[in-house]
Structure 1
Amino acid sequence: MTTVTGNQGVSSSAPIALESAVVKSWKAPIALGFFALLSLVLFGIFGRSGISTFRLSTDSDFFQIPPIPVDARPASIVTSVLLLLIAGWAAWLAQHARRVPLWVTAVFAMLFLFTFLVWASAGLRSIPVAGLLVGAVGLSVPLIFGALGGVISERVGVVNVAIEGQLLAGAFVSALVASATRLPLLGLLAAMVAGMLVSFVLAAFSIKYFVDQVIVGVVLNVLVTGLTSFLYTTLLSPNQTTLNSPERFQRINIPLLSEIPIIGPTLFRQTIIIYIMYVAVFAVWYALFHTKWGLRLRSSGENPQAADTVGINVNRTRFWNVSLAGAIAGFGGAYFTLGSVGSFSKEMTAGAGFIALAAVIFGRWDPIRATLAALLFGFATNLQSVLSAIGSPVPSEFMLMLPYVITIFAVAGLVGSVRPPAASGKAYVKG
């Protein structure tokens, strides 16, 4: 629900000039209000009684934090009232044509999550907070790499629907090469090459031959899925021990930092792939917004005519940056086989590429925001496993669909009115 009001003024140079335009968007306040009321009724008034316990420390932490018990019913009512107050403030901001800050939405989401966890674990085993976060980071790794590739590709002007195919190609090739050579690092490099080759096809058809970019991406996803499934059946499966048993990367504990409760297990007891991910997020953000390369890339996706005027070869810039995006996504695909599962299986990405694409939109084509969105989706995926482990009464069918529900809600309900790069998805013809 959006209301637009405007004022017109008269000046000496123009008979009628638009002085101001105020846009009032009620989407966020309505969404926040709905979930605040849902929390109050479902978790507070008609919620479950009992004690919920949050376990914050692991046995290897430098110091131990005692478990925190929470009385479910009173805590749910208090946090629900806080949620209502935040929703009311968001409505006040909308009434005065002010945008709801991102941190407000983040605080609201954390309070709602706390209320949900208190309700879901009342009277049951304690929730391992560190384990919940560690699992969320692990599940988010391919999503983050895929989202970084999607941000680069769309910022330069090419819609990358083929992230799923790039992740799957990276997972397959990394398993094959790392198994055959017994060198996981070589498997990582091979995964980047595989993702880049998928991007070559996307770039060639969409940039050189002007084929619809979305159609090319969908076709590539189907092609890679069919090809990897066929090769798995005919090549990997009969030779499981020699071609589909890669050596996984071991966790590397950072001294001192890894012993800090919650933060240590979550961030500093990880594999080299995740440490590279930290660097990649910062590097893409910095290069995109603080280097000449990033300026050329963004100008090719926003105004290719102007970029061409100042001497930038738009199509060449697009081609090589789409290829770079594919290499990054392929690197993320290697995590499935070299950092997580330890072998390749059919369609093992399970739609991660499409969730990564949703993270790009939810993150408004910004590397940092897209990373946070990917972490949210990874957290939702891991939450179902943790709640099932503690015997939560939440139906398993609901928990299985939770990551996808959050994806739809985040993109449709919380993003609001966003504008992609102006020339994204549009082929550029010189002259």
Structure 2
Amino acid sequence: MTTVQTDLAHSAPIVRTRDWKGPIVFGALIVLLAAALVLGDQTGSTTYRLAAENDFFSLPEVSLSVGGACWVVVVLLLACLGFAIWRSLQALTLPLWLAAVFAVLWLVGLLTWAAAGGTIPVVGLLAGAIALAVPLVFGALAGVLGERAGVVNIAIDSQLLLGAFGAALVGSLTHSAFAGLIAAMVAGSLIALILGVFAITYFVDQVIVGVVLNVLVTGLTNFLYSEVLTEDSAKLNSPPSLHVHAIPVLGDLPLIGPILFRQTVIVYLMYVVVVLVAWALYRTKWGLRVRAVGEHPRAADTVGIKVNRTRYTTILIAGAIAGIGGAFYTLVSVSQFNRELTGGAGYIALAAVIFGKWDPVRATLAALLFGFASNLEGVLSVIGSPLPSQFMLMLPYLVTIFAVAGLVGKSRAPAADGIPYKVG
């Protein structure tokens, strides 16, 4: 259905399409939560622990009853649904803040029901979410940069994987985590260079090249792991770990301190990279050129911008950023390289790019959401949630599907995204 408005200045009709995806997703989630409350045999209350060690002061614990708090949450969710329906009837887009409020309320209701009689460590839940989201954030930033320049980067997963391998190998040989980090950046840029040669120079379909690179790097790293790393794992697959460093004062703040400011160097680097990418993309001449070659390369060429050179430079920077995300696996999370270590994280990062509407800040928030969903699965399993184990394993991917299919709203990729540019 559509609504037609008239532009008074030009007397031209403006047609806006009603989008019902958001209200449908809201309604489905409300039905799921209400069904769990009615059919599930959960009683008592859930305690939320907000404090951590070394805080300046301890925040009190919060207890919510399943019978009362959860139904209050349902009522508030219905109010959000009503507002979303009204927005759709007016042919208005679903605001991001409404989706965020709905998600927080729904999660509070779900957690209160699922953890009835138990305690949820909020600090551990959120800190773990950030840890799981770090590779996704770096991968999403790489995807945003590439697609803003007009290059579809399906090869994010291979960049993460080869970055993890390079960090493990070089870090082990040099006994330096920072050398491993540099090697991971070089490995990510190497994949980007191969992608550029085929997609930019020889006009090969970018999606096909990306898929082939993912398969190639998976097979290559599996072979090298079996034939090289396992032969002398103490020398070749034992990289030094990056330790947690607390920022003075900030690290002791209650709740946010242990979550944001008691982290490793790579996490702090993530904060900086997100800000730099957003600033460079929207506030610098370089960023203007990147967006120009992604939207209208022919027009950019006519004003003297080297389209393919700009695309090469951008994807090489993006590859280095993705490589940092790969280094997080072997220098922080696992401290060694294993087969298929990323578990397809590059594809989730690509979903974060779409969910974030090709914007670095929005894509970062989307990656954090997916990281939270992954960590939530582990936390609910530990506290003995009545949810089926199969559903727990599906939870991160269900969140990804709901987010991209239902909450992303109308979005448009850069106009020249995936289209090779032939000079002349």
Query: How far off its partner does 1:70 sit?
Result: 1.0
Question: C-alpha deviations, 1:330-349, integer Å up to 9, x for none?
Answer: 11100000011100001000
2:100 to 103, 106, 109: 106
Q: Give yes or no for the alignment of 1:5 onto 2:3.
A: yes
Residue 141 of structure 1: aligned partner: 134
Query: How far off its partner does 1:323 sit?
Result: 1.2
Which SS does the other structure have where 2:18 is aligned? strand
- Larger displacement relative to structure 2 (312-321 or 46-55): 46-55
Query: 2:107 corresponds to which letter in structure 1?
Result: L
Which SS does the other structure have where 1:5 is aligned? strand
Residue 30 of structure 1: aligned partner: 24
Q: Answer whether contact 2:93 2:409 (CA < 8 A) is retained.
A: no
Overall identity of the aligned pairs, in %: 56
Query: Counterparts of 1:22-421 in structure 2 under 5 Å?
Result: 22-43=16-37, 48-123=42-117, 125-421=118-414
Between the aligned partners of 1:317 and 1:203, the Cα distance in structure 2 is: 11
Query: 1:381 corresponds to which letter in structure 2?
Result: S
Query: 2:353 corresponds to which letter in structure 1?
Result: V
Between the aligned partners of 2:25 and 2:123, the Cα distance in structure 1 is: 30
Q: Answer whether contact 2:192 2:316 (CA < 8 A) is retained.
A: yes
- Larger displacement relative to structure 2 (106-115 or 314-323): 314-323
Between the aligned partners of 2:23 and 2:8, the Cα distance in structure 1 is: 35
Question: C-alpha deviations, 1:136-159, integer Å up to 9, x for none?
Answer: 000000000000000000000000
Query: 1:5 corresponds to which letter in structure 2?
Result: T
Between the aligned partners of 2:150 and 2:415, the Cα distance in structure 1 is: 8
Query: How far off its partner does 1:6 sit?
Result: 3.0
Change (3 A) 1:75 1:206: same
Between the aligned partners of 1:294 and 1:43, the Cα distance in structure 2 is: 50
1:21 to 15, 27, 40: 15
Between the aligned partners of 1:138 and 1:7, the Cα distance in structure 2 is: 47
Query: 2:411 corresponds to which letter in structure 1?
Result: V
Query: 2:78 corresponds to which letter in structure 1?
Result: L
Q: Answer whether contact 2:48 2:122 (CA < 8 A) is retained.
A: yes
Between the aligned partners of 1:165 and 1:59, the Cα distance in structure 2 is: 38
Change (3 A) 1:45 1:83: farther
Query: How far off its partner does 1:113 sit?
Result: 0.3
Question: C-alpha deviations, 1:205-248, integer Å up to 9, x for none?
Answer: 00110000000000000110111110001110111101100110
Q: Answer whether contact 1:155 1:365 (CA < 8 A) is retained.
A: yes
Between the aligned partners of 1:318 and 1:121, the Cα distance in structure 2 is: 49
Q: Answer whether contact 2:193 2:316 (CA < 8 A) is retained.
A: yes
Query: How far off its partner does 1:411 sit?
Result: 0.8
- Larger displacement relative to structure 2 (61-70 or 274-283): 61-70
Q: Answer whether contact 2:161 2:326 (CA < 8 A) is retained.
A: yes
Query: How far off its partner does 1:90 sit?
Result: 0.9
Between the aligned partners of 2:124 and 2:8, the Cα distance in structure 1 is: 63
Between the aligned partners of 1:85 and 1:146, the Cα distance in structure 2 is: 36
Structure 1 length normalisation: TM-score? 0.96
Between the aligned partners of 1:145 and 1:391, the Cα distance in structure 2 is: 32
Between the aligned partners of 2:24 and 2:120, the Cα distance in structure 1 is: 31
Query: 1:54 corresponds to which letter in structure 2?
Result: Y
Unpaired runs of 5+ in structure 2? none
Change (3 A) 1:51 1:5: closer
RMSD: 1.5
Q: Answer whether contact 1:44 1:77 (CA < 8 A) is retained.
A: no
Question: C-alpha deviations, 1:367-425, integer Å up to 9, x for none?
Answer: 00000000010001111111111111112221111111111111111112211000000
Between the aligned partners of 1:205 and 1:50, the Cα distance in structure 2 is: 60
Q: Answer whether contact 1:37 1:80 (CA < 8 A) is retained.
A: no
Query: 1:121 corresponds to which letter in structure 2?
Result: A
Between the aligned partners of 1:48 and 1:65, the Cα distance in structure 2 is: 27
Between the aligned partners of 2:305 and 2:217, the Cα distance in structure 1 is: 33
Q: Answer whether contact 1:44 1:74 (CA < 8 A) is retained.
A: no
Q: Answer whether contact 1:195 1:330 (CA < 8 A) is retained.
A: yes
Which SS does the other structure have where 1:25 is aligned? coil
- Larger displacement relative to structure 2 (308-317 or 30-39): 30-39
Which SS does the other structure have where 1:22 is aligned? strand
Query: 1:22 corresponds to which letter in structure 2?
Result: R
